[in-house]
């Protein structure tokens, strides 16, 4: 099946979970990443049980603190 990850279309195995995608994509600091699928936020507690579907669009987001 094909999904889009961070703007890049990729072929991945069927029944791929968000948790496995985070590993496969070598996401830095995975404990701090926020994931969206088709512009919907995925609860980090459900990464293991959320299975991606053909055509899904996945983004990895990092929220940074800062300012003065």
For the chain, the domains span 2-61
> Average pLDDT of 30-37?
94
CATH code for the part of the protein at 2-61: 3.10.20.30
Mean pLDDT, rounded, of the chain: 94
Provide Rg for the chain, Cα atoms: 12
The pLDDT value recorded for residue 62 is 85
Model confidence band, residue 27 (pLDDT cutoffs 50, 70, 90): very high
Tokens of residue 14, six digits:
């069927």
> Average pLDDT of 13-22?
97
How is the beta sheet containing 34-37 ordered, strand by strand? Answer: 8-11, 2-5, 57-61, 34-37, 40-42
> Average pLDDT of 59-65?
84
Asked whether residue 53 carries a pLDDT value surpassing 80, the answer given is yes
């Amino acid at each position: 099946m094909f999904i889009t990850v961070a703007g890049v279309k990729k072929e991945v195995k069927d029944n791929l979970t968000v948790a496995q995608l985070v590993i496969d994509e070598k996401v830095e600091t995975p404990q701090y990443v926020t994931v969206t699928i088709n512009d919907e936020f995925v609860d980090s507690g459900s990464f293991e049980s959320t299975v991606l579907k053909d055509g899904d669009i996945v983004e990895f987001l990092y929220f940074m603190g800062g300012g003065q």
